[in-house]
Structure 1
Amino acid sequence: MNYDVAIIGGSYAGLAAALPLGRARRRVVVIDAGQRRNRFADHSHGFLTQDGTPASEIAEIGKQQLLQYKTVDWMEGSVKRVERKDDNFHLCIDEKHAINAKKIIVATGVKDQLLDIKGIEQRWGKSIFHCPYCHGYELNQGNIGLIASSEHAAHMAMMLPEWGRVTFFLNGQKIEAEIQTQLIQRGVIIEQRIIKEIVGESTIILENEDSIPLDGIFVTTQCLISQDWITNLGCEIEQNAMGEMIKTNALKETSVAGIFACGDVARLGGSISLAVGDGTMAGVAAHRSLIF
């Protein structure tokens, strides 16, 4: 099959990227492996007109609306290889299917690398979160924990008192005296002891068996690009304390001609609103690149 644009990733950014292309009657395929980054969360917050809607419902409505456009195809599967041949990209999907596209948009999202603390993984997205704008309000100004995992954690610790009473668990991480003073002035409790595990809904057990019950816990993750084919494309990758992402310009163009990227794979810090905005820009820019 030959397409104008292949969009790799069918979550919010990928859906948003496909919409302007479909409305321009371009031949588009969305390739989706069904692994939305926020699949662990029951509800989405902060997305205008959809505040509190189940995250899966937003994605499904978007998909159904998108597929009303006759030039848009949907393909379930995982991209295994992407190769450039002449002026087209050749994509291999699950070692079974092959398609060609003039342009590609990478909207795969990222993998969250969680701290190695017993109890985090099964509570991720339920009572342990990464974004206070997405989940802080529902904690009702209660007792909030933050576990240090990178230099970005101190920045979040300064913000979190907007949403409740904060205990900052350093868990072996170091903190500058000046920053510690600023946090204390913000009312943040600094906990130096090591975390043993997390139990119940969100109770932290320390190494000496003391327990600290909380209404919710925040932790920053390392965001990783886990697909080798993305690295093999040669797109410039940026790295910082929060992880790695594909570098793009304001039009969501990567450093490789014909390749665009949007959503969490091209912006550290997950948000449906930002993913949709970035996806729309990528879709419009990809369409224009087919003309000019």
Structure 2
Amino acid sequence: MSATWSWYVIALLALNILGIAWLLWWTARRRPGDPKPEDTSHYWDEDITEYNKPMPRWWINGFYLAIAFGIGYLFWYGGLGTYQGYSQWSSAREHERDKAARNATLAETFRAYDGAPIPQLAADPAARALGQSIFANTCATCHGSSAQGAIGYPNLADDIWHWGGEPERILQTVMDGREGVMPEWGKVLTGIGGDNAVDYVIAYVRTLAAPGKSLQNDYLASTGKKLYDGVCVACHGVDGKGNTELGAPDLTDDYWLHGSSTASLRETIVNGRHGVMPAHAELLGETRARLVAAYVWSLSNRPAPAGSASAANSEPAR
């Protein structure tokens, strides 16, 4: 706030306070010539009379005390422009202090799980319950309370992982986030294969989930394969298995992040997709991120008994 605005706020507050005090003083005093309190000429039902009496002195003094309290409050806590107040209090500092205290309590709660291997945490019911609670508070907004996702948000309860399903890969996803980009290929494909090029590619992509299907008598799919091999193979691979380093999905399964309809596939190819998983390292910290990663990993991996050698060293079957 500039000095000009600061003085403007101070002047406005001062005028309001002085105006209220003057109005209270002016309306509370009686002047010579004022009619008697009972001389209002307002009567109802013959025996009900309206009086015009001043407020009791204790009530008026209460208003003055409230004004004095307001002035003291402004000087103590601030509110006069850029003046911070004698106490130097601010809601931001109070929030940071309370946050630090809560974080200390949380750190003590989670200390037992610091650095623990994710399979080991997944095998511990208490740790898994903590991870589920963190998931419900942080991740369920996008992935759903059951972690089964929605259109555009991955299902975390199956065994399909666009960025890899190994424990440390899941932890990396939670900590650092992911950004998946499917470029716009509509104009490129049309320029290479004509107006129906996108439909040719869609026809071929659908055959990838049907191993052994012959393309010999399928003009659309066979034409689409040539276009796929020239454009799509760089990310999704020759066999369509995708690339977890790039987040390129496997096209040979029956899972479609944005839907499997022809309209949805056409939208994906023509206009591309841009998916962002936010980084949660700063929000959760390493231990809580590890716990939620363990919970997510456990959804598609049966945890080994806690304390066993396999619990510390197991890798998921993918």
Flag the structure with higher strand content: 1
Q: TM (normalized to structure 2)?
A: 0.23
Structure of larger gyration radius: 2
TM-score of the pair, normalised by structure 1: 0.24
